[in-house]
Amino acid sequence: MHSTSPNNAHQCDPAGPTIADSTSPLLRLPGELRNRIYEYALQTDDELKFDSGVRSYEGVPSDDGFDGHNIPRFIPCGAYRSECKDHVNQLKLTCRQLYKETAGLELQVNRVHFFTHWSDKFGPGQLFLTFIRNCAATKRGRFRDIYLWSSSHRQVPRLNQSLEPKDVMFELAGYCRQHPQVNISYAVPYLDTNDLWIDVVAQGLFLSLVIGGEDLRSVATIAHNSALDDMETAEFFKDASGAAILRVSNLKFRFDIAEIRNIESFQRELATAPWLDARVCLELATKWIKEGI
């Protein structure tokens, strides 16, 4: 269960009277206690995901993520669209007072996933930004923890295509600067799932260079790995000042792996890639997986 303090804009006034003091036991409670109850009631073990309502989630591609098939909404991650007939936040539908005190609170006390299918023509960053552009300005900063990722079936053939186009990534970084209370994790897709750990190393070296400005290529002999050659042709590498825009403390690039579960497997893979320093790469991969880039 993911927990984070609710936004002050949605919290009750501890000293202020409610409009239903005489009828509702809940609304007669002190504001601080109501806030704790709301937060507990709206937390979900499954976290939340954005359901844009597009047919692309059923295997039919869409150009921009919104085709009017259904109303965009947020549903539990473990649920299917057809199973979710109601709003996650039922409290806000009870009365005006509860709407005022809880609207959007479910987005603050849960991690929210924006996910795109491998067949979609857009990435998770574009999906999130399209949603944000269609929100009222006062609602764009309601989130606290966002996870952007794509289906693992999407194969990325070249290292310099790890990220979405520059205009999308720069707008995403701009959102993070405007809303420092919102933490965004961007899951990086793998080049080839058959060589998981080697891909983690290649992607990590690339992102550390073009985003973090840290050149760690000394752990590899580039001539022996065509993937690392892609670094110097990547548009982010060639636009150093542009890449620096992505260096925002609340925007982290992560691998969709909880931890290095099998050290022996990682070491066996490294043995097939003599162009890597196995010990250093193990340390780097562990850091990238735990902390992001």
pLDDT digit string (tens) for 13-55?
544 444 444 478 888 889 889 999 999 999 988 899 998 776 5
Angle between helices 124-133 and 166-178 (to 10 degrees): 50
Q: In terms of residues, how long is the chain?
A: 293
For the whole prediction, is pTM greater than 0.95? Answer: no
Phi, psi at 49, each rounded to 5°: -130, 150
Average pLDDT, the chain: 77
Half-sphere exposure of 28 (CA within 13 A, CB side): 5
Domain ranges of the chain: 1-154, 195-293
Q: What is the DSSP letter of 26?
A: T
Query: Lowest mean pLDDT: which of 73-82, 102-111, 151-160?
Result: 151-160
- Please report which confidence band the pLDDT of residue 244 belongs to, taking 50, 70 and 90 as the band edges: confident
Q: Tens digit of pLDDT for each residue in 187-209?
A: 987 666 667 777 788 888 888 88
The tokens describing 137, both together, are 């300005």
